[in-house]
Amino acid sequence: MLSYNTSLFSNTLDATDRPAQRKAVVASSKKDFDGKIENVLQHIANFTHRCHETGDIEDFNFIEQEHSPPDDVDMDDQKERLAWLADPRRFTYGNLLIDSSTATLEKLQAARDANKAIVMKQTSRPDPVKMPIVSKNLVSFQNRSWIYILLQTVWTVSMKAIMSKYQEIHDNERVLLWFCFLRHFAGTTKENISQACALLTESKLHLANFNNNILKLTNYVRNPIRHLLKANEQPTYQHFIDIFHCAMEAPNDEFKAFAIALYTDYRKDGPTSKISMLELLDQLDVE
């Protein structure tokens, strides 16, 4: 806990205090998110838009790279050293809302810890004019708390159940929770599902495309199949047929006979018709 009251603090000179602004932003959304895959992209867009509206986009920053001081900065000089430590050129930043592709849990935890360390050193509320950097960090420290309220107002009971394991671990760090959300639903958006299906089309599934190497084929197929399964989509009957046809192209007569036997059993609704696509791929690998 901080040793001073931050409820009436704003980091912007002459700005109105933020509580009313925050209250409006975290008010119940018209687009509640229930965890259904078809609504993932819209939910991400809505959340990002509301954070942009309040000017809180920088609260999702993380350090991509720390740069060495330029040659004209004397790090043995205390004044120049302190100036460099506060220089915006010191770091290259990434942002979780703008592009999450380079974000990692470790980078976001480091951003959280750095923010908290600056704030906790203060024994009184920092003056926004005299201590603008510390003041900015304090507002970010506050924002990381109310972000969670925003998520809770738009996540339905089913969505909260999906995210319960992440909430237990990251209940006190809302930016990390959003990162967990993005990673949980990675590969489940409509675009990625469409891409997964495109990778499983008959035109791409020819053994010759994999130098007649069945292991290269199965490794290729697993990734899009896992995307489908993660999105609660199942491989279609045609996907199974295409894999069988591809396997039966094998130049090895013994393996080809094995693939034909599996295919025949599958078409006759035998035991092979009851196995999953990943189990089929495993059988092909073993053979």
Q: In the chain, what are the domain boundaries? A: 19-184, 190-286
What is the value of pTM for the model shown? Answer: 0.58
Residue 56 phi/psi, 5-degree rounding, is -105, 20
Tens-digit pLDDT profile for residues 30-70: 678 888 877 888 888 888 877 777 667 777 888 888 888 88
Tokens of 69: 């001081």
Tens-digit pLDDT profile for residues 13-38: 334 455 555 555 555 556 788 888 77
pLDDT at 204 over 80: no
Angle between the N-to-C axes of helices 277-286 and 214-230, in degrees from 0 to 180, rounded to the nearest 10:
160
The partner residues of 94 in beta bridges, in order of sequence, read 62
